[in-house]
Amino acid sequence: MAGEPQDDCLFCKIVGGHIPATIVRETETTVAFRDINPQAPTHVLVIPRVHYKNAAELAAAEPGIAADILREAQVVADEDKLESYRIVFNTGSGAGQTVWHAHAHVLGGRGMEWPPG
Ligand code: 5GP
Ligand code: ZN
């Protein structure tokens, strides 16, 4: 059922503590941890504890938790002393999504081009 933990979901396993991760922050609704393959000096994933396949489905079902993710991204940026940072929600395989549990990439600590590749 939407929102319930999925046995085959990597990020549900991280939320449940079944797979280790370098966790930087936890709240009642979110977990933030370092990406295993960082693309910038700061590359943190902020995820909801509940399982939705992407950010849009999370926002439709649980708008408060979607807002929590944006707030947590700012806290992560503050803790890493980032003046500028980028939040990315890859949505769909054509955009690079590989894990089907909503997540925000928080990237910073280096210059970034716009538009992205
Ligand atoms: P996506 O490509 O779906 O937008 O982002 C998934 C992210 O999860 C990728 O940046 C990838 O490096 C990261 N990732 C995949 N497996 C693991 C893992 O086991 N641990 C952590 N910390 N990050 C992971
Ligand atoms: Zn999940």
42 C-alpha to ligand 2 centroid (Å): 23
Coil/strand/helix, residue 90 = coil
Tokens standing for residue 40:
């910038």
Distances (CA, A) of 13 to 45, 65, 86: 14, 19, 26
Q: What is the pLDDT of residue 117?
A: 76
With the most atoms of ligand 1 within 8 angstroms of its CB, the residue from 10, 36, 76 to mutate is 36
| List of residues 6+ apart from 7 with CB closer than 8 A | none
Q: Pick the catalytic residue from 51, 101, 103, 105.
A: 103
Q: What is the pLDDT of residue 30?
A: 98
Q: What is the pLDDT of residue 116?
A: 87
- Provide block-wise average pLDDT over 10 residues at a time, the chain (117 residues): 92 98 98 98 98 98 98 98 98 97 98 91
Atom of ligand 1 nearest to the CA of 43: 10
Angle at 31 between CA 25 and CA 36, to 5 degrees: 90
Rounded to a whole number, what is the distance in angstroms from the first to the last CA of the chain?
A: 35
| List of residues 6+ apart from 40 with CB closer than 8 A | 107, 108, 109, 110, 112
